[in-house]
Each structure stands twice: as structure tokens, then as C-alpha cells.
Amino acid sequence: MEINILFLGNSHTYLHHMPRMIEFLAREAPCPCNVNTHQVVGKGVSLKWHSKNSQSLENIASRSWDYVVLQECSGGPASDPEAMSIAARQLDGLIRTRKSRTVFFMTWSKRDQPEMQTTIANAYIEISHELNALLAPVGLVWQQALKELPELAFYHQDGRHASALGTYLTACVFTHLFLGVSPGELPAGVTIDGREKVTLPKQIARTLQKIICKQIANIDKISA
């Protein structure tokens, strides 16, 4: 089995090699899958930026991707949800012409603004419903993981970006979404280019993956 994925996003997508973590996790899954990822990213860029960026548009049109993942800038759902929706519709239209599937990457709130997660989540849920797109509920997974395992450092020191552990959690969300594996079936760590990026006790990894599966199931119920 092979899955080809294009990511359009910013630092929430590219830090700690998140797409490559997905590739590793998929290879190590019970039924290994060859996931190939490509990304067009820029620091702090929005979906509006991607909707006008020639490289983003050319990559969408370059082939029939299995999935094209769209990630809005972290503040976009709150500061300008209409711009997010307009750009999402434009990009989704192009994605559909190549018979690819749109996936929205719901991001997380800043550490000192947890109340913003509801606004962020609602914006992604609404646009994914409107466009009948898939939704990776990363922000809601983070929210629940922070409640159940507050001792874990999912945030980078800046309180905004992901740590390597937070990136692992994000990558697990996508891998569960695409492969449909059960909790505990993904590795409790990630190695890239021979370097260990994340290592967790197996029970902690299983707990995180249980949270992921529950949140994905909840999103599916909302979408039904």
C-alpha cells in the first residue's frame, strides 16, 4: 500500500520533520504502508498565501495526490475566519480537479490561551463539513492530552509551537486518520536519519493513541 500526501502549511507543519514522522510511523505500523510526503511551507504563512503562491498551486496540479493537507496559520481561525474559508474553498476546488482529497489540519491554541481552542476547532469543523473534507483534529487531541497527561511537554519553550513530543503526537493523529490503526499499534518513538527524535514508555504512547482514536471517532460522529 502506498499513500502520497502534499502538505501546505507553515512552521506547525514543518518543525521537527512532522511529515517524515508520519512516514516512519506508517512504515512501522502492523500493516506497513509506504507514505510519501511532500510539503510547500513558509514561516507564518496562511491558506490565503498558499492560494496565491505559484509553488503551492503548481504542486497541487502536479499529480493526483491521495491527500492534500491544508493548515491555516495559527491565529487565522480567530482573526480572519472569512479569509480562511475563502482560501480553503479555492484550494479545495483545485484539489478536486486532480481527484485528490482535502484534509484540514486543525492546529492547537497557544499554551497561555487555551480558551481559544474552541474557536480554532469550530472554524476547522465548519469548513471541513462544508467541503466534505477530512479533518485531522490535532488541536482537540492536544487539548485532551494536556488534561490527561499534564506532566508531558507538548509545547516548545515559546508556548506556541510543538516540541518534538508534540510533533510526535501530531504525526500520530495523521497516521491514525490515514491508516485506521488501533491504540498502541504505532511505535512509542520515532527515529529519523538514524537519530532518535522521540521515545516514550509504551503505556504513555498507548494512552495518547487512545485519545487520538476517541477524538477522530467524535469528529466522525459530528460529520455523520
Beta-strand ranges (E) seen in 31-121 are 34-41, 67-70, 101-105
Q: Could you report the per-residue pLDDT of 140-178, keeping only the tens digit for each?
A: 999 999 999 999 999 999 999 999 999 999 999 999 999
Q: Is the pLDDT of residue 65 over 80?
A: yes
Q: Could you report the per-residue pLDDT of 83-124, keeping only the tens digit for each?
A: 999 999 999 999 999 999 999 999 999 999 999 999 999 999
205: CB partners within 8 A, 6+ apart: 184, 186, 187, 188, 189
pLDDT for 51 equals 98
d(CA 206, CA 128): 28
Residue with cell 469548513: 127
CATH number at residue 139: 3.40.50.1110
Q: Could you report the per-residue pLDDT of 183-200, keeping only the tens digit for each?
A: 999 999 999 999 999 999
Confidence of residue 222 (pLDDT cuts 50, 70, 90): low
Number of domains in the chain: 1
Joined grid coordinates for residue 45: 504563512
Confidence of residue 221 (pLDDT cuts 50, 70, 90): low
State which residues form the domain around 114: 2-223
* Pairing label, strands 34-41, 67-70: unpaired
Contact 184, 206 (CB under 8 A): yes
Query: Phi/psi of residue 107, each to 5°?
Result: -90, -175
H or E segment at 104? Answer: strand 101-105
Closest CA to 169 of 142, 144, 204, 192: 142
